[in-house]
Structure 1
Amino acid sequence: MEEWRGGAYRRTLRLPGGPGIVALRPQEGHVAAELRLTDVRDVGAAVARCRRLLDLDADPEAAEQTLGADPVLAPLVVAFPGRRMPRTPDGSEMALRVVLGQQVSTAAARTHAARLVSALGTPVHDPVGGLTHLFPAAEAVAGVDQETLSFPRTRRRTLVMLAEALAAGDLDLGVGADREHARSVLTSMPGIGPWTVDSIAMRALGDPDVFLAGDLGIRQVAAGLGLPTTPARLTAHAHSWRPWRSYAVLHLWGTLDHPITRMPKDGS
């Protein structure tokens, strides 16, 4: 349901009039978008979801003013001005993907997601690339036979329970959702801990002030930059980064030598 091809990030979109495909290509000063839609009336909805995906309505200058006041973050802010928060066109999709990525490598998370998409996603036709499915709707995941899912049993239960809450409307991760209520609902679910709640708040709800103090990558970067490495002390240091701690997390992650911080190869 997503790929990098021909210098563009391409993905499928679930839209009111039917499946769509968007190709987003970085250009000087803007992002070029090419849309393939089932219904042309979905142009507005597709553009809005792409803007949300790329965090294009953010105010990076305000974040940089605060984060740049910290001598440790200042060089990162100068090196990568205008950094945005990678989000999602669909909050339910992101929440389910975060659960799939709990306590596994990014490669394993991609494998789990690919299996779920192949098994439960709606097929689409892509005449110019390798996209094959929409990400499964929460209703499809909620109704799945858990024994058919090829990952640990506890993860299956958590995934289906989350999908059930999303499908029933008990958990709202859409535009304008109440972030604190969503956090409360997520926290009450067995198998969903603080890292998962914070990741969903950052990526699905677009909360600009999330700090993943217990994230392994953040702690590794903190050690290299001379920042505190225990979650409590690191959180205390990050207090001055409020209300833009999500963007601080992105700057710190960006220093990691990891495939996820580099441009991918075509077809990946």
Structure 2
Amino acid sequence: MKTVLSLPAHYDFAGTLGPLRVFPADPAARLTATELWWAVRTPDGPATLHLRRYGDEAEATGYGAGAGWVIDRATAIAGLDDDVSGFTALAALDPVVRRAWHDRPGLRLTRTGRLFVHLLPTILGQKVTGKEAFRGYAKIVRHFGEQAPGPLPGLLLPPDPARIAGSPYWVFHPFGVEQKRADALRRVAAVADRLEAAPDAAAATARLVSMPGIGEWTAAEVVRLGYGDPDAVTVGDYNIPHHVVYALTGAVRAGSRESAPGRYSEADLRMLELLAPFTGQRARVVQLLTATRPAPPRFGPRMPIRSFARF
């Protein structure tokens, strides 16, 4: 199944679709400057969406039982339903944001309509380094995954939630995933259908944060992709508050990262204070700042890469 999408002026193909690829060697996605292969499980069955850009158009091709589902939602997945009207005036409130929007006016927020495909890597990214998270994610996809529909060899479907939910913790141990994250993953997998049925970002967020092991950080990361929520700002992240504060003020640190249940860290509070004028579009502002402005200088040793997979 195919359709042709009209692209807006300055459309940023790789920048918009980049979040659908968890990391460069993602077994379930391939991305270049003009082409995306994305495997996903839909309500109609497994599917692969292939987007190929040709100038100011993109050809969308669907494969598998869910081909019609991904084609029907190709414009949303590509971020073409993202409403940026009025954002130019809002960006003018701050010269740094105005410049970032001028530099990357083609960035859009994707809306996939799925949650579990994003919950998997996001839960694995809780409280660990990116390398640890990516390594565990790739191993889990390869262990549970199946060949995705379509002609691209080696492209794998994300795991079936039912198989994740039905697997005991010890299955995940060799992948470097400790019991806390494994249990959180198994819990959301067991109710994936109910989570996917949430009518909007607010309802999805409420359902997610009501579950043990799922906090605001995880919920925001997931609903921003699943629902294209332009205000789903991430709190509790190790790097984002420092990046935002450095971009907007020049301060190399946003504040202490220490937090507690029900209490934001100083760094999160400072970030939220600076983003308050952009309420309703805070996630878009963060997207622009992280895409266009350098990260603050790092101090001290890097977090160690750990693994207990062999023990």
Residue pairs, 1:113-124, within 5 angstroms? 113-124=137-148
Amino acid at match of 1:155: R
Matched, 1:13 2:35: no
Checking the alignment, whether the CA contact within 8 Å between 2:230 and 2:283 is kept in structure 1 is yes
Greater shift in the superposed pair: 121-130 or 182-191:
121-130
Uncovered stretches (5+) of structure 1, i.e. residues with no partner:
259-268
1:238 paired residue number: 275
Secondary structure at the counterpart of residue 76 of structure 1:
helix
User: Structure 1 residues 16 and 205 mapped into 2: Cα distance closer, same or farther (>3 Å)?
Assistant: closer
Who is 1:25 aligned against?
52
Measured in 2, the distance between the counterparts of 1:179 and 1:11 equals 22
Whether the 8 Å contact between 1:10 and 1:21 is mirrored in structure 2 is: yes
| 1:78 partnered with 2:115 | no
Of residues 183, 208, 215, the one that matches 2:205 is: 183
Please say if 1:209 is aligned against 2:231: yes
How far did 1:140 drift?
A: 1.8
2:242 aligned residue: 220
User: Quick one: which amino acid aligns to residue 269 of structure 2?
Assistant: A
Count, aligned residues = 250
Normalising by structure 2, we get a TM-score of 0.70
Match of 1:91 in 2: 115
Root mean square deviation, CA, Å: 2.7
Q: Measure how far apart 1:121 and its partner are.
A: 2.3
**1:222-266 Cα shifts (integer Å, max 9, x gaps):** 3432437232132122111121111111112213669xxxxxxxx
Q: Take 1:126 and 1:178, find their aligned partners in 2: how far apart are those partners?
A: 31
1:59, distance to aligned residue in structure 2 (A): 1.3
**Contact 2:36/2:52 (<8 A) preserved:** yes
- Identify if the C-alpha distance between structure 1 residues 57 and 160 changes in structure 2 by more than 3 Å, giving closer, same or farther: same
- Classify 1:66/1:164 alpha carbon distance in 2 versus 1 (closer, same or farther; 3 Å): same
Deviations 1:41-62 (A, max 9, x none): x554222333332222011233
Aligned AA (2:158): F
Measured against aligned partners, the alpha-carbon deviations of 1:149-191 in whole angstroms (never above 9, x if no partner) come to 1211111011101111224x2xx234x6243333222222222
Q: Which residue of 1 aligns with 2:215?
A: 193
* Displacement after TM superposition at 1:87 (Å): 4.4
| Structure 2 residue matching 1:209: 3-state secondary structure | coil
1:49 aligns to what?
Answer: 73
Q: 1:2-26: CA deviations, max 9, x gaps?
A: 1236952212233566533332234
Q: Distance in 2 between matches of 1:250 and 1:14?
A: 26
Q: Which runs of 5+ in 2 are unaligned?
A: 1-27, 255-266, 296-311
Q: Match for residue 136 of structure 2?
A: 112
The TM-score with structure 1 as length reference comes to 0.80
Distance apart, 1:118 and its partner CA: 1.8
The separation in 2 between residues aligned to 1:61 and 1:34, in whole angstroms, is 28
Residue 38 (str. 1) matches residue 64 (str. 2):
yes
Among 164, 171, 183, which residue is 1:157 paired with? 183
Which residue identity does 1:157 align to in structure 2?
D
Q: Secondary structure at the match of 1:24?
A: strand
AA at the equivalent of 2:106 = G
% identical equivalent positions: 25
